[in-house]
Structure 1
Amino acid sequence: MTIYYDCRHCGQRIGKLDQKEIDVSLLGFDQLTNKDLTDMIYYDQDGNMRVKSICENCQRTLEQHPNYHELDFFLQ
């Protein structure tokens, strides 16, 4: 299984883990609430796990413009 990490705001690929077996508890997914799991993690049509996260550029933008946290999408 491959786990892809993509930015939830700009869609940029942040990284990927590609292993036959992955213990998701080592990744901290067991610490997430059910709502967070639903909002952040899904499986694509190929059976790969997709994790919505945030890239450094979008994080920097949110730090510079805190009011953007109110928006679902701040990139146009």
Structure 2
Amino acid sequence: MKLKNLRYSCRHCNTEVGSIPFASAEEVIRELQRAEEGNGEHFLEYDDNGSMTVRCICEQCEQSLRMNPDYYALRKWIQ
């Protein structure tokens, strides 16, 4: 599959953190695909439109996790 876009989205609240067009992201995408060979399947997703989504943590969720470390034990902590 030819990738067209690289998106960053929060894995907790689904907020889009940013995106990079493929022409600008070719090297980044290669590195992410290399990471996927290890344990990247937990944070990389592909869609049929040619986009790769990196599941990261937005600033608000990161701050919430720092203030409430017990949230790490929960599979889904945002309602």
Q: Which band: TM-score by shorter chain?
A: 0.7 to 0.9
Aligned to 1:12: 15
How far, CA to CA, are the matches of 2:36 and 2:52 in structure 1?
15
TM-score (norm 2): 0.80
Q: Give secondary structure in 1 for the equivalent of 2:62.
A: helix
Count of paired positions: 74
How far, CA to CA, are the matches of 2:54 and 2:27 in structure 1?
15
Over the aligned positions, Cα root-mean-square deviation in angstroms equals 2.0
Quickly say closer, same or farther: Cα 1:69–1:33, change in 2 above 3 A.
Answer: farther
Quickly say closer, same or farther: Cα 1:32–1:43, change in 2 above 3 A.
Answer: closer
Residue 2 in 1 paired to residue 17 in 2? no
How far, CA to CA, are the matches of 1:38 and 1:31 in structure 2?
9
Deviation at 1:31, TM superposition (A): 5.0
Deviation at 1:66, TM superposition (A): 0.3
Unaligned runs of 5+ in 1: none
TM-score (norm 1): 0.83
**Contact 2:6–2:29 under 8 Å retained in 1:** no
Q: Give secondary structure in 2 for the equivalent of 1:22.
A: helix
Aligned to 2:47: 44
Quickly say closer, same or farther: Cα 1:24–1:7, change in 2 above 3 A.
Answer: same
Deviation at 1:72, TM superposition (A): 1.2
How far, CA to CA, are the matches of 2:37 and 2:62 in structure 1?
22
**Which 4+ residue blocks in structure 1 deviate beyond 3 angstroms?**
30-33
